[in-house]
Structure 1
Amino acid sequence: MITETIRMSTDQQTLIPLRDVLALFEPNNWRWTVEAFDGFGRFPADITWAEFLDIVNAEAAVFDWNGILRFADGVVQMIDGRIVATDENGARVVKIDALDSTEYEVVIDPAWSDVSAFVSRVAAAQW
């Protein structure tokens, strides 16, 4: 597995939102699942944080590409949590862990065809 670490804040102490991390990926047909979440923002369908946690705990916070982007657009800050993406065969392609408001750890299956382009986009990011 290939691991990339992305700080959650810039040198100017502004947050790097989840949406910016997801933007490092090309549009895809993966199934994105929020497996754990602690943070704040606006949740899908204007549900409360507690209602969203119930959905996460029921393993039902599942999105397609556009859905995970809409979810991320509503997240002001992801403090801790995990989002995974699986391909059409159910194989895990990506795991994103948010760690204590300090960094995102992105673990990528090296068999994914766009892995080198992703690593290059992370290196080129101007945060």
Structure 2
Amino acid sequence: MLVETIPMWTDQRTMVNLRDVLTRFQPNDWRWRVEEFEGAGRFPGGVTWAEFDANVEAGAAVFDWDGIQQFADGLDQMIDGRIVATDANGAIMATIEALDSTEYEIVVNPVSGQPAAATH
């Protein structure tokens, strides 16, 4: 596994958001599942925070590549959470964890053929 840690705040004190983190990946056909989430912003389909939280708890907050980018575009901030990307066979290809508004940890399966976290 390849691991990259990205501070959530730059030296200029600007936030690095989830959308910025997703630029580490090439477009793909993975399923991106939000397993845990604490943050703020607009949620997909205009659902409320409570509805989105219920979807996360039920394992139903799942997106394709375009969907995870749209989700990220709607966020003001991801404080804590975990997003897991799997391939068509269910193998974990990447994990993104947001840790207490301080950093993101990206873990990538190098078998995926994606340059992802290790090359940026």
Q: Name the structure 2 match of 1:119.
A: 118
User: The residue matched to 2:29 in structure 1 has which SS?
Assistant: coil
User: The residue matched to 1:24 in structure 2 has which SS?
Assistant: coil
User: The residue matched to 2:6 in structure 1 has which SS?
Assistant: strand
Q: TM-score, normalised by structure 2?
A: 0.96
Q: Deviations over 1:79-125 (max 9, x none)?
A: 0000000011110000000000000000111212123x54222xxxx
Q: Name the structure 1 match of 2:15.
A: 15
User: The residue matched to 2:13 in structure 1 has which SS?
Assistant: coil
Return the offset for 1:29.
Answer: 0.3
Pairwise mapping of residues 74-89 of structure 1 onto structure 2 (< 5 A)?
Answer: 74-89=74-89
Pairwise mapping of residues 1-127 of structure 1 onto structure 2 (< 5 A)?
Answer: 1-115=1-115, 118-121=117-120
* Count of aligned positions: 120
Residue 30 of structure 1 aligns to which amino acid in structure 2? W
Give distance in 2, aligned partners of 1:21 and 1:55.
23
Residue 105 of structure 2 aligns to which amino acid in structure 1? E
Q: Which runs of 4+ in 1 moved over 3 A?
A: none
CA contact (8 A) 2:96 2:105 kept: yes
Give distance in 2, aligned partners of 1:34 and 1:13.
27
CA contact (8 A) 2:35 2:57 kept: yes
Q: Deviations over 1:48-90 (max 9, x none)?
A: 1111000000000000000000000001100000000001111
Uncovered stretches (5+) of structure 1, i.e. residues with no partner: 122-127
- RMSD over equivalenced CA pairs, Å: 1.0
Uncovered stretches (5+) of structure 2, i.e. residues with no partner: none
Give distance in 2, aligned partners of 1:28 and 1:114.
9
